[in-house]
């Protein structure tokens, strides 16, 4: 990991939710709307996500043949100021394997991997070996392995710093108004058609014109 990561105890760091890492990787404006403004709207996708988590969100422990499986496990990193809940963590001897549930299809290198990497960072700080994590795709009904390597952990650390900076910034990031917006549950709150960078660059698109300017 790089040398520009926080090396103190994290006592003075503003805590960053693990879920914010995925939100940030997907859209900076969405992150601010959820974690700064407290905005949340349900959609078909969010309801499906809630239903897919109905089992793993119930805290519990299972043990079988040397494997301990814990559902809804709280984790944190004092060093990086991260905190959240793992859907599932499987423990075997000194190794921990986080499993993150997602309703959609798995996208290699997608935002979900950053959240999984944040969970791994917390488990590493707790003293466990975390060589691999998994994204479980409900749509595909299968696990996808994600190597917990230095590159992923570096991206997690950098994103944590960026999210914390975003949480302390009073202004919302500009919208991008691209393909991501079509399926976003916060579209009506975000109004990407009015708040994207292109319209901010052309204030004439936002400023009402005198009626005479619209006449032939």
pLDDT at residue number 40: 55
What pLDDT band is residue 129 in, cutting at 50, 70 and 90?
Answer: very high
Check residue 172 and report its DSSP letter: P
Average pLDDT taken over every residue of the chain = 79
What pLDDT band is residue 179 in, cutting at 50, 70 and 90?
Answer: low
- Give 72-88 as a DSSP string: EEEEEETTTTEEEEEEE
Taking the C-alpha atoms of residue 141 and residue 107, their distance in angstroms, rounded to an integer, is 14
Residue 37 has pLDDT above 90, yes or no: no
CB atoms within 10 A of CB 99: 19
Residue 17 has pLDDT above 90, yes or no: yes
The residue with greater pLDDT, 86 or 175, is 86
What pLDDT band is residue 186 in, cutting at 50, 70 and 90?
Answer: low
Sign of CA dihedral 99, 100, 104, 108: negative
Residue 127 has pLDDT above 50, yes or no: yes
What are the pLDDT digits (tens) for 87-111?
Answer: 999 999 999 999 999 988 999 999 9
Taking the C-alpha atoms of residue 106 and residue 153, their distance in angstroms, rounded to an integer, is 20
How many angstroms separate the Cα of 73 from the Cα of each of 59, 121, 171, 212? Answer: 7, 14, 33, 63
Ordered domains of the chain (ranges, CATH): 19-190 (3.90.320.10)
Residue 12 has pLDDT above 50, yes or no: yes
């Amino acid at each position: 990991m790089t040398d520009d990561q926080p090396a103190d105890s994290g006592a003075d760091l503003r805590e960053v939710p693990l879920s914010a890492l995925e939100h940030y990787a997907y859209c900076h404006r969405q992150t601010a709307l959820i974690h700064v403004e407290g905005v949340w709207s349900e959609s078909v996708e969010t309801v499906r996500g809630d239903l897919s988590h109905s089992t793993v969100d119930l805290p519990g422990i299972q043990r079988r043949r040397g494997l301990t499986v814990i559902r809804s496990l709280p984790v944190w990193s004092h060093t990086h100021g991260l905190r959240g809940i793992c859907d599932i963590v499987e423990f075997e001897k000194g190794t921990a394997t986080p499993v993150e549930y997602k309703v959609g299809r798995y996208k290699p290198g997608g935002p979900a991997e950053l959240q999984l990497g944040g969970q791994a960072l917390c488990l590493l700080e707790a003293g466990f070996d975390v060589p691999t994590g998994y994204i479980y795709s409900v749509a595909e009904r299968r696990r996808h392995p994600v190597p917990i390597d230095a590159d992923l952990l570096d991206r997690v650390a950098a994103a944590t710093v960026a999210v914390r900076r975003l949480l302390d910034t009073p202004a919302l990031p500009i919208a991008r108004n691209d393909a991501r917006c079509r399926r976003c549950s916060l579209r009506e709150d975000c109004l990407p058609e009015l708040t994207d960078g292109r319209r901010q660059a052309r204030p004439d698109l936002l400023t009402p014109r005198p009626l005479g300017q619209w006449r032939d």
